[in-house]
Amino acid sequence: MAKVNVQARGCEINDDLQAHIEEKMDHVERLWPRSDEAQLRVSQERGRFAAEITLVTGGMVTRGEERAADLRQAIDNAIEKLESQLRRYKEKVVARARRHDNRDDVTGEIIHAKMGASGLASDGISTSAASTNNGAAHAEEAHAEQVVRVKKFALKPMSAEEASLQMGLLGHNFFVFRDAENDQVSVVYRRRDGGYGLIEPVAD
């Protein structure tokens, strides 16, 4: 594994903690020995510490982020979350390989969300910004909502299945990607009843 690039804001990484980080990352390397880049960002705000560990492997990104009252605990929790996501990813890759060998397509269901007259996607999930059945309650909540974080990233061409794996590595409930087949920007999302859905843009 490449050397971990540690960035600290509002806190300090002393020699003992640096050694602890390297020891923890040794465990990650045994699980995932092919990482190209590793970055750890730690910060302190209002008496709490945040730790975000990111691995880049062949264009795929894996990230674990946690907060705690203690800096070391925040780092440990973030790395443990990262390891958990890597294990799930490896299990999915192995399962996918077995399905391919057996010609048995039992992957997570891909739902192509299409707008109906009711304004709902084909799987019953609203494609509007509303996420609650009570419009009035949502309006009150939306009034208090603010954008608190902005992330920018390149849209790498990939298949929907690859996008679902990347979503799992990041620990997100959805992932925006560029479909390698049609070059369209699409979204995969995790379904409550299992599997994942795929939202594709359609012409007006």
What are the structural domain ranges in the chain? 4-102, 109-204
pLDDT of residue 76: 95
Which CA distances in Å does 98 have to 110, 139, 195?
Answer: 19, 47, 17
pLDDT of residue 36: 81
Closest CA to 79 of 69, 99, 97, 65: 65
71-102 and 15-31 helices, crossing angle to 10°: 10
CATH (residue range 4-102): 3.30.160.100
pLDDT at 119 over 90: no
Task: Assess contact for 28 and 63: CB atoms under 8 A.
Answer: no
What confidence tens digit (pLDDT) does each residue in 143-202 have?
A: 455 666 666 667 778 888 888 877 877 777 888 888 888 888 888 888 877 778 888 887
CATH (residue range 109-204): 3.30.505.50
**What's the half-sphere exposure (Cβ side, CA atoms, 13 Å) at 160?**
20
The reply to whether 109-204 shares the fold of 4-102 is: no
60 or 118, greater pLDDT: 60
What confidence tens digit (pLDDT) does each residue in 27-82 have?
A: 888 888 777 888 999 999 888 999 999 888 877 788 899 999 999 999 999 999 99
pTM of the entire structure?
0.54
pLDDT of residue 145: 57
pLDDT of residue 48: 94
pLDDT at 126 over 70: no
What is the pLDDT confidence band of residue 2, given thresholds at 50, 70 and 90?
A: low
pLDDT of residue 79: 94
87 or 41, greater pLDDT: 41
pLDDT at 108 over 80: no
pLDDT of residue 117: 38
What confidence tens digit (pLDDT) does each residue in 93-105 have?
A: 777 667 656 554 4
